[in-house]
Amino acid sequence: MVVKRKGEKIESKLETAEQLRSERINQRIEQARKFTSKIDKAKESRQRSQQQRERSLKDTMEKVSAGSQKGQANKQMTSQRAKSHLQKVQRVAAEQKQKLIDETTAKNLIISSKLENAELKKQQILDDIKEKAKQSAEMKGAKTAQNGDQEAGQ
C-alpha cells in the first residue's frame, strides 16, 4: 500500500507538474499571441502610414505635374500672345511706312507738277517778254526810221 500511495503521490505530482507545464505553455502561447497581435497591429500601422505617405506623395506629384502643365500652358499662351502682338506691331509699322511712302510720293508728284507749271509759266512769261521786246524793238526801229525820214525831210 505504501507503494501504491507513493505511486499515487508520484502520479499526482506528475499530473500537477503536467498541469503546471500545460499552464505555462498556455501562458507562453497567450503571450506569443499577444505579442504577435502587437506585431500585426504595428505592421498594419506601418502599412497604413506607408500608404498614406505614398498617397500624399502621389497627390503632391500630381499637383506638381498639374502646376507644371499649367505653367507650360501659361508660357505657351504668353508666347502666343507675344507673337500675335509682334505681328500686329509689324503689320501696323509696315502700314505706316507704306502710308508715309505714299504720302511722300504724292507730295513729290505735287511738287514736280508745280515745278513743271512754274517752268511753263516762266517759259511763257519769257516768250511774252521776248515778244514784247521784239515788238518794242520793231517799234523803235520804225520810229527811228520815221525820225530819220523826218529829219531827212527837214
Structural domain contains residue 40:
yes
Give me the chain's average pLDDT, please: 88
Structural domain contains residue 16:
yes
Q: Which residues of 22-45 are buried (b: 16+ CB within 10 A; e: fewer)?
A: eeeeeeeeeeeeeeeeeeeeeeee
DSSP 93-124: HHHHHHHHHHHHHHHHHHHHHHHHHHHHHHHH
What pLDDT band is residue 24 in, cutting at 50, 70 and 90?
Answer: very high
Domain total in the chain = 1
Q: Domain residues for 94?
A: 1-114
Residue with the larger pLDDT of the pair 31 and 146:
31
pLDDT in the model for residue 13: 85
Mean pLDDT on 104-118: 95
Q: From residue 84, how far is each of 88, 89, 92 by CA, in Å?
A: 6, 9, 12
What pLDDT band is residue 6 in, cutting at 50, 70 and 90?
Answer: confident
Structural domain contains residue 144:
no
Structural domain contains residue 124:
no
